[in-house]
Structure 1
Amino acid sequence: MYDEVIVGQGLTGLLTAIWSREQGKRVALVSSGLGKIIQSSGVMDVIPGQDGTFTDLISKYELDSRSRLNINEAMKKFFQVTERIGYPYQGDVETLVTIVTGSGHVKKTAFYPQTVKPIPDKGHVVIVGFEEVVDFLPMYIKGNLEKSRPLLKIDPITISLGKSSSRTMSQLDAAHLLDEETSCKNVVNEIKKEMANKQIAMPDLFIFPASLGFHNWQAVLEQLTRELNTAVTEASGMPPNATAIRLHENLKREAIKLGVRFYENTTIEDAEVENNVVKSVITSTNMKIKAERFVLATGGILGGGVEQTAKGFKDKVLSRELDDFARFINCPDNVFLVGASNGTKVIQHGITGGVFSILSSYETLLELNENMKLGGLQHA
């Protein structure tokens, strides 16, 4: 018997599992896949795809007024856990920074790792591409970036990683290569050589693909910054990119270390419900998992927890009836919804994630704690 069973291992699922386990609860996590976090950019926007403020988030998502107070505690807890797992984030929801993306467009974001730096309004940047990585094109990025940063001098260069491959390399492949000190040194030498050939002065910032190392990202960041004698940044890009996957892998490792029991590659086929309380869930392997409380962090219609059919929305986890907004018509008393599992009203403004996921995970933790205080007799 677990205190909590969490369904889904995206950002909301992993954070909820970690924070619950920190409080000494017995926690299991059931997932059919790896979670949408690995398909993200790895930075935490207030409203993904839009340059909205936190006030906009509260309004658009119809959040409780307490969310403005809760976000500060949620932010602290998120920073604490990322510091502990060795992949620290920084930033603020009220003072957003502007970063460059892998397409050369700029966007505002709230929380970002140390591999990402804000893009300046003016000065000089060099965009570094790798011959082996075809989805990061310095000339194309320059064309987009100079539209939003007309005062910024931009020089694009392309160098070789010095490694051949039988297939096209991804940005993640490049990150693994740069984990090797010799490969990282070769990149530095190639950059200096190309800049000398093109008579490019040392810039204020180097922009790289999202590939500044993987396991040894900190050493790679330090080596590049030291040997190039200036700041470097990753441009948040399309998956698979190291920025997001580093976060997922480290969060998962922390959850395992804390004692969260993982049931992976497992779907829930049925649930045992009595008096509107879920007693257990039954997996595709015919395993019965019992718990006091169940947290749905499935990502809703975006993550596969809800399916849209010709007859409406279908709950694929507990097989419960849903309304026109993909919400439970009669939510079981011990079931808690986190993130995009809260229905289509949450996702009507685009994809979810980022700040909302962190806030929702924290507020779900508060609800779970309140439910325990009430003896689990009613939904908080």
Structure 2
Amino acid sequence: MKTITVDLGARTYPILIEAGLLARAADHLAPLARGRMMAIVTDENLAPHLATLQGALTAAGVESEAIVLTPGEGSKSWATLEALCDRLLDLGIERGDHVIALGGGVIGDLVGFACAILKRGCKFVQIPTSLLAQVDSSVGGKTAINTRAGKNLIGAFHQPAMVLIDPAVLDTLPARELRAGYAEVVKYGLIDDFAFFEWCEANGAALLAGDLALREHAIAHAVAAKARIVAADEHETNGTRALLNLGHTFGHALEAETGFSQALIHGEGVAAGCALAFGFSAAQGLCAGQDAARVAAHWHSVGLPDGLASARIDASGATLVEHMRHDKKMAAGTLPFLLARGIGQTYLDKTVDLGDVERFLDAQPR
């Protein structure tokens, strides 16, 4: 088992990574139960994993109650949040109890936010079941729901007590979801780890094809990278954690254009967004055009969108920039962008002219 620690003083917590961990999760959850029932929040697609987890808890003498939600981004809503909080209150959840979030990023974000506000804060455990959640959203304490104005605009920083990652559960993940999660893996190489990007170029196809050892390595490497960044800038105040948003400003605009629908899921938006961020950087003379081409080529090689055309976005630059204006990172009319001086050389730029972005987007093939 690999153990990675997110060092946050009194809120420090472990991330445990091991194939088959779900079936042994009770070893780590039973001490948190304090002899009380544990609530598990999951979605309808995860019935086999729920059965495994509940079976393990029952065998350990821990009673559990499942709250099963509708899959998809639509559940990250005010209505679902209200219903979930009411159900947790009906179950008598106390501040000292640990609610279990069993699922992908939607479940993790929603449950984390519910626990942030329930009785002014109760505890929760992340058991992510998608690659995207395992390497990104389950770590770091960002929780949120979506609103009409945009994605993740209502939320809170609320760290989990523990994260349990079982790479073997990815065997049941649809290929499209696996590829989307892989975009967040590669992102860590693009940010500040050129050697890891090279590793992804060499191993990404095999990882996606099912190589468990490669998956474990990639997950552990990505989680360790995120843990370091979160420990250095938990609430995104000094600019370090903002690096994790590489590809997201462009990507969220593309997602918004699709109405945050299945037409372009989050990881696909991140891949296209990273390609656009590098393309824009090259257009501004910040990095070599061959770097931007190399990033786009890797996305293409694994079946991820590498720009507007492959993301099936035909909106104008003005329309996409208008989506960006609703970004939660907007400050005093300025939107910071993650740009690059090369692969593994990402930096935060607060001087970008949105007119330049609009013109760049208008020039992209559709």
| TM-score, L = length of structure 2 | 0.31
Q: Relative to total residues, which structure has the larger strand share, 1 or 2?
A: 1
* Greater RCO (CA < 8 Å, at least 6 residues apart): 1
| TM-score, L = length of structure 1 | 0.31
